[in-house]
Structure 1
Amino acid sequence: MIAVLVIDMQNAFFEDPALQRRREEVVAACNSLTSAAREAGAKVLLVGTEHERDKSTWSLNMLDDDQGFIFRGSEQAEFVPGLVTAEHPRMAKTRDSAFMGTDLGMRLRNWEVDTVILAGVSAHNCIAQTAADAFAHNIRVIYAADAIATENPEAAEGVLRVLVREYRQRVLPLEEILSVFEPA
């Protein structure tokens, strides 16, 4: 079984100019991906980062800088306009990996998922960390190339090259991924 994980498609991340320039394109690709998955009976999970104002969920860099980010219930934490969200379950995380401190592993086991398709932002950190942890859980990974963005292309290229080579993960264009969901 395949599941699509749409990661951090939230207003806060698209405040960065590099991501802002690609927002409409990535939203459209994510919507195409989730629509095809839903029609094929595959699972879709929207994953977003959320923190508490009291610092209890802050990461080390946030604590070092004494600067919080993406507080629960804030406009920053909302999914970007245009992203289809209504029918999909959601999960909040506080770290780059969607597995760290969440029930993602249990959800995927309950859904009998052996492969995840990753979409969203940012390729060099949250996508990559989730992909590495998926490998640790014996879950195969496909990166939806057209539905992933980053504000640091050089870092993204380097980390994805390692994950593809070492963990046998695949980076595929949206057109090829969508064909996976088409009836045989």
Structure 2
Amino acid sequence: MRALIVIDFTNDFVDGSLPVGQPGIDIAPRVSELTTSFVENGDFVVMAVDLHEENDPYHPETKLFPSHNLRGSAGRELYGSLKQVYEANRERIYWMDKTRYSSFCGTDLALKLRERGITELHLIGVCTDICVLHTAVDAYNLGFAITVHEDAVASFNPAGHEWALGHFRGSLGATVLKA
């Protein structure tokens, strides 16, 4: 059994307050296409979406990055056509707020995957070298098989993006696919 984890593909991360920019814009059609395909196949699909509070003095990212993905903001909405894919399939996609880089940290993701018998995770979204990477490392440590779709991940850091793709393959034993 497999699942698709769509990581942080929101307005703020693509072209908002903490933007990946053109690389994120470029992968938007593929992110929507993959999400639609997994939904139509009956696979478990998760929207793992960063959630922050304005000026949270206890969150480590407050000191590292500009405010982003704030509760109730337009920046936290899904980017581009992914928003329509989600709205059309809301009952078949699991929305999951996350407050750390990894989609597993402080969430019920592992429980949701285990109760469905899922052993294989497909990862897409942003940023390749931050939230996708940390999710992949935790997935590896929890024993999941990992596939990263190279044509559906992006970063604002080209060197970090390339390094993470190599790390997925070389250190996590992940399959890195390109359509």
2:102–2:138 Cα contact (<8 Å) kept: yes
Who wins on radius of gyration, i.e. which is larger?
1
Cα distance, 1:52–1:170 mapped onto 2, change above 3 Å:
same
Q: Which runs of 4+ in 1 moved over 6 A?
A: none
1:147 match: 152
2:121 match: 116
Shift of 1:71: 1.1
Note the alpha carbon deviations across 1:6-32, whole angstroms, 9 max, x for none.
110101111369733234432211121
Shift of 1:93: 0.5
2:78 match: 79
Give the stretch that moved more between structures: 140-149 or 80-89. Answer: 80-89
1:55–1:68 Cα contact (<8 Å) kept: no
Note the alpha carbon deviations across 1:64-87, whole angstroms, 9 max, x for none.
369543211111111112112121
Note the alpha carbon deviations across 1:24-80, whole angstroms, 9 max, x for none.
43221112112221222211111110112361662x241x36954321111111111
Shift of 1:5: 0.6
**Structure 1 Cα separation of the partners of residues 12 and 172 of structure 2:** 30
**Structure 2 Cα separation of the partners of residues 133 and 32 of structure 1:** 26
Q: Aligned partner of 1:148: which letter? A: V
1:8 match: 8
1:137 aligns with 2:142: yes
1:35 aligns with 2:40: no
**Structure 1 Cα separation of the partners of residues 149 and 113 of structure 2:** 18
Shift of 1:118: 0.4
1:118–1:141 Cα contact (<8 Å) kept: yes
Q: Aligned partner of 1:161: which letter? A: G
Identity value in percent: 28
Q: Secondary structure at the match of 1:146?
A: strand
For normalisation by structure 2, the TM-score amounts to 0.87
Q: Secondary structure at the match of 2:81?
A: coil
Consecutive unaligned residues of structure 1, counting only runs of 5 or more, are 175-184
